[in-house]
Amino acid sequence: MSASALETREGVEVRLEGLHREFSGVRALDGLDLTLRPGELVALLGPSGCGKTTALRLVAGLDDPDSGRVVVGDRDVTHVPANRRDMGMVFQAYSLFPHLTAQQNVEFGLKLRRVDRSKRAGRARQMLELVGLASQADRFASQLSGGQQQRVALARALAIQPAVLLLDEPLSALDAKVRAQLRDEIRRVQLEVGTTTLFVTHDQEEALSISDRVGVMNQGRLEQLAPPEELYTAPSTAFVAAFVGLMNRIPCRVEAGRASVLGATVRVTDRSVTSGEGIAMVRPEQLVVEASDAGSAEVLQVSFLGSVTHVRVRTADGHELLSQANGAEAARLTVHTPVRVRLVADQLLVSSD
């Protein structure tokens, strides 16, 4: 597991420019622009069918765009066949060659590159060690668990030291615990080798926890590309706000760049509605609930989630809100408890829809 096992390689920049792809009337990609900085790990997040896989396949050269370009470094690879793109890909599932052992699977790409036998075997072994599977090197795919198979697939993709690493929901077939473990492993290895990586997932936690930046896609386009914290605290569109994490949508009025929400007045963010009616996007943790006989809201439901407790309340004007409470406060809340709801935020996104 030593870093010296891996020759690190300068990461390259990857640019997706105006990619369009249509499948018999369905616009899978509708002008996707996305730039990955050298050595960075970007997670692509989005609802099912938004075009994530399509984007990845275009980068890998497994499919051709109707228009647009894929540029790696300063080379336009749009029309370069997949087998000459020098990209490592890990598929969602079942991509190990079933007639080869784990070791032989990892050696496959090296063999194609005419790396000689002993060097090849050595390198494959290093890779298997890196993913913690050295002891299973002689097993066939059918003798490995799903998680182990995915780790071999990762080792196989890394063995060829690709310029770019592409991961299409590599963890979605696994159970939660293995998923968390393998996800951290992927990040560790990626940092170690410094390969520019595009990681497709529909699991927010996965995306937010391991990536340098997260891209949120919707209907074939990129909505926002930002570091995880920024995406969470300052979503630039209503879609991103609603898609990432839990969000309350509270109608409000905006005047002179300030919105009045739940009796408080807060600054609105750049992309917000500047005046008139709008909908404020408020995170549960931005709402504080306190038991109070004078409170005009009422508790509907209290859900204990382990580290935090979610409290669903109804305000006097009939809106349902989700808020978060800490253990001590939550203990005093039960259904029908009258409460006061307070907004704790410096600025809010107020969208028009």
Ligand X SMILES: Nc1ncnc2c1ncn2[C@@H]1O[C@H](COP(=O)(O)OP(=O)(O)OP(=O)(O)O)[C@@H](O)[C@H]1O
Radius of gyration for the alpha carbons in the chain, expressed in angstroms and rounded: 24
**Are the C-beta atoms of residues 61 and 55 closer than 8 Å to each other?**
no
Among 23, 94, 97, 304, binds ligand X (CB under 6 A): 23
Residue 51 binding partner per list ligand X, another protein, Mg ion, none, with a CB distance cut-off of 5 to 8 Å that depends on partner kind:
ligand X
In the DSSP assignment, the letter for residue 140 is B
Query: Which residues neighbour 74 within 8 Å (Cβ) at sequence distance 6 or greater?
Result: none
Among 4, 25, 48, 81, binds another protein (CB under 8 A): 81
- 52 vs 120, which CB is nearer to ligand X? 52
- 101 vs 126, which CB is nearer to another protein? 101
- The span from the CA of 200 to the CA of 52, in Å, is 6
How many other CB atoms sit within 10 Å of the CB of residue 255? 12
3 state SS of 157: helix
Per CB under 6 A, 49 contacts ligand X: yes
Residue 26 binding partner per list another protein, ligand X, Mg ion, none, with a CB distance cut-off of 5 to 8 Å that depends on partner kind:
ligand X
Per CB under 8 A, 123 contacts another protein: no
Per CB under 6 A, 48 contacts ligand X: yes
Query: Which residues neighbour 318 within 8 Å (Cβ) at sequence distance 6 or greater?
Result: none
Per CB under 8 A, 173 contacts another protein: no
Which of 221, 219, 310, 223 minimizes the C-alpha distance to 271?
A: 223
DSSP H or E run through 69: strand 67-72
Per CB under 6 A, 25 contacts ligand X: no
Among 63, 192, 230, 298, binds another protein (CB under 8 A): 63
- Contacts to ligand X from residues 185-244, by CB under 6 A: 202
Per CB under 8 A, 2 contacts another protein: no
Place of tokens 């951290």: 184
Where along the sequence are the contacts to another protein (CB under 8 A)? 60-64, 79, 81-89, 91, 93-99, 108-109, 111-113, 140-142, 153, 156-157, 160
